[in-house]
Amino acid sequence: MGKTPKVALACAVLLVAGGGVAVVLANRSNSATSGAHKTLQLSTVTVVQKDLTTYTETTATLGFTTSTIISSPVAGTVTTIVTTGDTVDAGNIVATIDGNPVVALIGDIPGYRDLSTAASAGADIRQLEINLVSLGFDPNAKIHIDETYDSATAAAVTLWEDSLGLVGNGKVPQSEVVYIPGKVLVDTVSATVGGAAQSGSTLLTGRLAERRYLVTSTVAHGGVVDRFAAATTAVATGTVLFWDAGMPVVAIEGDANATPALERDLKIGSVGADVKVLEQMLSAGGFDPTNAMTIDDHFDAATSAAVTAWWQSLGMTVDTNAAIVVPAGSYVVVPSGLFVGNPTVADGTTLAGDATVLSLTRAAREVTTTAPIGDATFALGATIDVEFPDATIQPGIVVAVGNVATNTSNTPGATPSVPITIHVDTIPPAVDSFVQIPVTLRVVADSAPRAFVVPVSALVALAEGGYAIEVVTGKAPDGSDATKLIAVTPGLFANGFVAITGDQVQAGQNVVVPS
């Protein structure tokens, strides 16, 4: 019996230029498109069609954006106080001074006076009423959330004070409340039990873990609220936050301490600062294209026409023959830089009265880095992947590009850099205990969408030049796999894979790889 001759294949290792990856160099006499041969044992993978992407990575920092100081509203001896690591939220007792509780409520207006039915109207009363309603101390929905401290407000205050172990009398002394802009994580406690506190002295310092700006439904003092703006929507002048009894409730950026919300119906003949706020919104939204409206304190025919245009732009049917009336509660004035948070009631809820229905927020933690001036990768609104230490990856959006440039490299002539702020909606719990922590930004450097992709090890570098992949074509008579080489052109390399092109390349082909 004659011996079957053995064919020796001379192989070497070749580094693909620029890729730093090894492929097999085969000394084959057959061309790249012919020469089926037999292999007894073959390891194969499938050609897949998918996006292939490479990234440039840089280090950034995730950290809290705002530090908050809670000060004593009264002088006296500290008898109890929260401890480091505690959370302070609406309704929590921060400390007791001379045995009397100091309670945290949500709001941007600091307490500056005692409040009772004898108090003059003011935005601080509205702020108190929002908290009383939110905390459940108006069970019969008697409070109209406004700037007037009336008997319904006093009744809710009495319930609240009773819940604190006090003898409720319907009055709120300034010493009883501190207002905070949201949920606070306590970092440092400055006051000590038994020590003296002065009015205005620091009790504690903390991180703002959740910014809250509470928005209320007051259009109909009860009714259906629906069509809430999507969570994480950036709030600007003209953003419709929700619909209340069939009417839009819109945000207007401005000084909420001066005019926190529309407190009355507006119509032709109405005069006041609240009219001017409305007209500014209508003008900014482009609802007075002929500039017929004068932005002042007077609601006139031009104002009415602009309101009609606004409502029609929202899909409302407007009877142009009827007098236009903008109902109380149709707008709320909000600080700038907020996002829509989660509704506090379900979409389509029928309310029994005035209620808090939505919280506006700002990211408690942001990712910060620097980038050269004009770097389009970090342009405002750009999307950048953020990789956290637990290996989870979340999309981030550039929300701020600074205007103070510095030479961070200290190299003369180098392009100056500006600070960059990136917002990430979902931050993994694994980093919650860190005030600051490094993260990795993954910026797309190159991509090959819907490319034919194989492992780099599937590439065969031919002795005569060029590259091929070895494709299984079927079974040989002896039962082994029959293969052939087909010419390919390597493209993008990423994470051990390569994008390939070639006339005969198809998704689903079985390709030989080293075993």
Residue 47: pLDDT above 80?
yes
Query: What CA–CA distance (Å, rounded) separates 421 from 51?
Result: 28
Identify which of 451, 464, 515 has the alpha carbon closest to the alpha carbon of residue 34: 464
Q: How do beta strands 11-15 and 22-26 pair?
A: antiparallel
Q: Is the model's pLDDT at 12 over the cut of 80? A: no
Round to whole Å and give the CA distance between 7 and 451.
35
Distance of CA 294 to the CA centre of its chain: 37
Q: What is the pLDDT of residue 408?
A: 77
Give the separation between CA 453 and CA 448, rounded to whole angstroms: 10
State the chain's mean pLDDT as an integer. 91
Pairing of strands 100-106, 177-180: parallel
In the chain the domains, ranked by start, together with CATH numbers, are: 11-56+447-513 (2.40.420), 67-211 (1.10.101.10), 215-356 (no CATH), 366-442 (2.40.30)
Which pLDDT belongs to residue 476?
A: 86
- Quote the tokens at residue 233: 């929507």
Which among 459, 462, 420, 457 is positioned nearest to 441, based on CA atoms?
Answer: 420
Q: How many CB atoms lie within 10 A of CB 223?
A: 18
Question: In what helix (H) or strand (E) does residue 279 lie, and over which residues does it extend?
Answer: helix 273-284
pLDDT of residue 515: 81
Contacts of 434 (CB under 8 A, 6+ apart): 62
Tens-digit pLDDT profile for residues 228-274? 999 989 999 999 999 999 999 999 999 988 889 999 999 999 999 99
Q: Strand 22-26 to strand 459-462: parallel, antiparallel, or no bridges (unpaired)? A: parallel
> What residues pair up with 362 in beta bridges, in sequence order?
none
Which pLDDT band, with edges at 50, 70 and 90, does 21 fall under? very low
pLDDT higher than threshold 70 for residue 33: no
Give per-residue burial for 249-271: e unless 16+ CB within 10 Å, then b: bbbbbbebeebbbbbeebbeebe
Cα 314 from Cα 243, distance rounded (Å): 11
What pLDDT was estimated at residue 39? 43
Cα(414)–Cα(424) distance, rounded to whole angstroms? 30
Note the pLDDT of residue 169.
96
Question: Residue 508: its pLDDT value, please?
Answer: 95
Q: What is the DSSP letter of 63?
A: E
19, pLDDT greater than 60 = no
Task: Reduce the secondary structure of 398-458 to three states and give it as a string.
Answer: EEEECCCCECCCCCCCCCCEEEEEEEECCCCHHHCCCCEEEEEEEEEEEEEEEEEEEEHHH
Residues with Cβ < 8 Å from 429, sequence gap 6 or more? none
| pLDDT score recorded for residue 51 | 94
Measured CA to CA, the distance from residue 330 to residue 250 in angstroms comes to 6
Amino acid at 367: V
Reply yes or no on whether the pLDDT at 332 is more than 70. Answer: yes
CA 468 to chain centroid: 47
Instruction: State pTM to two decimals.
Output: 0.74
pLDDT in tens, 397-451: 999 999 999 987 788 888 899 999 999 988 999 998 888 999 999 988 899 999 9
Angle between helical axes of 301-313 and 273-284 (0-180°, round to 10) = 50
